[in-house]
Copies of this chain bind each other. A is one copy, B any other.
Amino acid sequence: MPPLVPRWPAWLFCWRAACIQGASVRQRMWVGPSRIPGLGGPRGAWGTSPLAPRGSCLASSRAPEVTLTPERYPVRRLPFSVVSEDDLAALEQVVPGRVITDPEELEAPNLDWLRTVRGSSKVLLRPRTTQEVAHILRYCHERNLAVNPQGGNTGMVGGSTPVFDEIILSTALMNQVLSFHDVSGVLVCQAGCVLEALSQYVEERGFIMPLDLGAKGSCHIGGNVATNAGGLRFLRYGSLRGTVLGLEVVLADGAVLNCLTSLRKDNTGYDLKQLFIGSEGTLGVITAVSILCPPKPSAVNVAFLGCPGFAEVLQTFRTCRAMLGEILSAFEFMDAECMKLVRLHLGLSCPVQESPFYVLIEMAGSGPGHDAEKLGCFLEQVLDSGLVTDGTLGSDERRIKMLWALRERITEALSRDGYVYKYDLSLPLDRLYDLVGDLRARLGPSAKHVVGYGHLGDGNLHLNVTAETFSASLLGALEPYVYEWTAGQRGSVSAEHGLGFKKKDVLGYSKPPEALQLMRQLKALLDPKGILNPYKMLPTHA
């Protein structure tokens, strides 16, 4: 078969002719148990250790106990009621057999998967229907009981775990697909469907989910929407604010707000669903989602390239966007320290020559031959100009998975390196990596590793610092320095992870006082008693 590309660079010995044939959309590899729980399943993410699907080797039984949140952070319990025996009896009427009070079963949902925050909730509820959620919230509202909505509990900022004794309202049993339209690609489903299960469901019907993220095996679509998750397809398919067509939400007082439309366009009144997208469960509980799925591309190609410097990474991105145009679906980068950690902790080997930086480019299109030709021209250009010094390609599922694992499993490698200080920043592209070098110099040997990686195409840097254990002095060297530096660039101190519990007090670095005031007013309007996910998202102090 003659190559479609004019000249295949000699170094690309691992390229295959197969790279121009159609490959199905990658499904990434988990090191943990290969658990794909249907569309949720009776053992939702909270039922197993939330770490397992992310591949960690830390079983909670062996790991040291995590400090209770109020013991590490300066936070005081608000005057909510305490769950009584009468409350349990009343809730048992609403969700019979699904009121969990077994301390062992409550361990996992009280703890975030990063093992950094831990609550002391004594009860977890597992509703199956919107009406059950409505009954629960109506009851809790009347009784002034605080509620912590929880999906897959895969959040990065402590937003999905209780801080004190909030009732955990799990969406794990709300895992039904309600409808799918195979012409429009509109999926309507309950909030507790696991993202990976939804991906499989729509892929079997010729579509893909418009979002994809490392935690797909555990995270719930309702949680994705509640945190306005970004992820790996953002560059191509944009924000959930555009792809979510409708939501059903239960408000703090138990009223059901049904805006579960399946229409692409609807300009009748204020777009209320936007209030709940990214509100992290503080304004209402999302119970169902209508989302537009794009058609499944017939060809997917992944290139993993080494770059000699960050300037070359940026120039590769510019070249890529110009030459690959509409088929570009992801542009990720990682630095040499990241590669070192995935090798050290996960045993993954670098598929190209060692380089200061690596980029992973995914192309997804409808013309395999055309896509391969565009890719070939692009690669020739970046190689000839010295922007890229080495690279490899993948177009079959196995190899695509292998290449994506290098980027996706950085989080996991970091968590094995020690205590991780995580920052998720939006920054101007030109300055995206500056802070990493700056911090290495600033922290010196007090940090074990300072690494930078992320969604370069979206201007989103994941900056992570590891140390053997948590250290207040290291934290003091990092904060507020990182936030002030980011604010100085007019960046965002939370690009996609949200604020949750751990970042709520830094909101002011990215938003002006007038915005904070309006946010507080919205919270007061929608949840006057403040029972929904308290201690999260909005700063503690007025």
Contact = CB atoms under 8 A, between A and B. Distances in A.
A31 interface: no
A426 B319 CA distance: 39
Nearest to A262: B490
Nearest to A371: B370
A509 B460 CA distance: 41
Given A318-B183, A373-B370, A268 B510 contact: yes
Given A325-B367, A525-B521, A265 B459 contact: yes
Contacts of A494: 266-268
Q: How many of these chains are in the complex?
A: 2
A184 interface: yes
B429 A184 contact: yes
A459 B185 CA distance: 12
Contacts of A373: 367, 370
Contact of A499 (B230, B256, B269, B275): B269
A270 interface: yes
A122 interface: no
A488 interface: no
A283 to B, nearest CB: 8
A232 to B, nearest CB: 13
Given A241-B242, A271-B274, A519-B272, A266 B326 contact: no
Nearest to A257: B514
- Please indicate which of the listed interface residues A270, A283, A492, A506 has the most CB atoms of chain B within 10 Å of its own CB: A270
A497 interface: yes
Nearest to A516: B269
B230 A265 contact: yes
Interface string A451-485: 00001001110000000000000000000000000
Interface residues of A, number: 87
A498 interface: yes
A59 interface: no
A511 interface: yes
Given A257-B515, A267-B496, A490-B262, A241 B184 contact: no
A141 to B, nearest CB: 15
A266 B426 contact: yes
Contacts of A426: 263-266
- Please indicate which of the listed interface residues A264, A367, A490, A519 has the most CB atoms of chain B within 10 Å of its own CB: A264
Given A228-B267, A234-B265, A262-B490, 19 more contacts: A184-B428, A230-B267, A238-B238, A257-B515, A261-B510, A265-B492, A266-B492, A266-B494, A268-B494, A268-B510, A269-B507, A269-B537, A271-B274, A272-B515, A272-B518, A274-B277, A275-B275, A295-B322, A518-B526
